[in-house]
Amino acid sequence: MTHQNRSDSNLTMSVGLAALLWLAACGGPPAATAAPAVSAAPPAETQPAPAVTAAPPAETQPAPALECGSTPDLTRSMTEGPYFKADSPERASLLEPGLAGTRLTVTGYVLTPDCQPVVRALLEFWQADAAGQYDNTGYTLRGHQFTDAGGRYALETIVPGLYPGRTEHIHVKVQAPNGPSLTTQLFFPGVAQNQSDQIFDPSLVLLVQDNSGDGLAATFNFVVNDK
Ligand code: FE
């Protein structure tokens, strides 16, 4: 060790000693500042993994069995009609105070042609109210949403009314993030006017799961090209 190093070493020791004396004189660091570090949660690596014990996030839950073969049919496209309006609000529920009509929920998946759920698919719904009227000035009964991490969507709305020449239907555009936009319509089972509607298509009829309450719960899976 050189003289210079020894001097540095001595200096370091002196400074260290002075600091210790100062701490002793002051009674050490205030307890209030030391305590939280001790009583706080242990470092992350020593914590029991919460992800294991907590409920798994939605995207990790096994999806219910999908009823489609390895090559399900693409959802049939339908005319857009005259009442589409761009820039609808993002909302899964189209319900608003004072909105009359039979409550309806429609849930399902957006799937690729090989039956894989599509994450963040865009769904844009628009429909007539219970009296068969479209809101062409505002956005009543119009809205868009995106499928979740499991490829699921859920729409809350009302059963649309009839208007001249048309049976009950809900308009929808569906688009996978990198796919083309599919424009189509959803129909309701057991509606007498289905038979006289020129564009009614049985492959686009909602599957009603429950109509025992004061509303209707139905499902529909869309199959769209994702590229
Ligand atoms: Fe329409």
58 within some domain? no
Q: Does residue 70 belong to any structural domain of this protein? A: no
> Comparing 63-67, 161-165, 175-179, which segment has the lowest mean pLDDT?
63-67
Which pLDDT band, with edges at 50, 70 and 90, does 213 fall under? confident
User: Of residues 10 and 170, which shows the higher confidence score?
Assistant: 170
Ligand 1 center from residue 206 Cα (angstroms): 16
129 token code pair = 């109210």
At residue 33, does pLDDT exceed 90? no
Average pLDDT over residues 133-147: 98
Centroid of ligand 1 to alpha carbon of 184 (angstroms): 10
Counting the structural domains of the chain, the total is 1
Is 36 or 126 the better-scoring residue by pLDDT?
A: 126
Does some domain include residue 86?
Answer: no
Distance of CA 134 from the midpoint of ligand 1 (Å): 8
Mean pLDDT, residues 144-172: 98
Q: Model confidence over 114-123: pLDDT tens digits?
A: 999 999 999 9
> If you average pLDDT over every residue of the chain, what do you get?
79
Does any domain span residue 190? yes
Average pLDDT of the residues in 132-160: 98
Residue 44 lies in a domain: no
Please indicate, yes or no, if residue 171 is contained in any of the structural domains. yes
**Domain with 215 in it:** 103-223
The sign of the dihedral angle between the CA atoms of 42, 45, 49, 50 is: positive
pLDDT tier, 212 (very low <50, low <70, confident <90, very high otherwise) = confident
**What is the average pLDDT across 129-141?**
98
In CATH, what number is assigned to the domain containing residue 129?
2.60.130.10
The model's pLDDT over 46-78, given as tens digits with 9 standing for 90+, comes to: 344 443 334 444 444 444 556 666 567 999 999
| pLDDT classification of 26: cutoffs 50, 70, 90 | very low
| Residue 31 located in a structural domain | no
pLDDT of 17 > 50? The answer is no
Task: Note whether residue 188 is domain-resident.
Answer: yes
CB 89 within 8 A of CB 143: yes
- pTM score of the predicted model: 0.71
Q: Is the pLDDT of residue 38 over 80?
A: no
b/e map 176-206, b = 16+ CB within 10 Å: beebeebbbbbbbeebeebeebeebbeebbb
Specify whether the CB–CB gap between 220 and 106 falls below 8 A: yes
- Tell me, in angstroms, the distance from the centre of ligand 1 to residue 220's CA: 18
Measured in Å, residue 127 CA sits from the centre of ligand 1 at 6
Q: Measuring CA to CA, which residue among 119, 121, 104, 127 is closest to residue 182?
A: 121
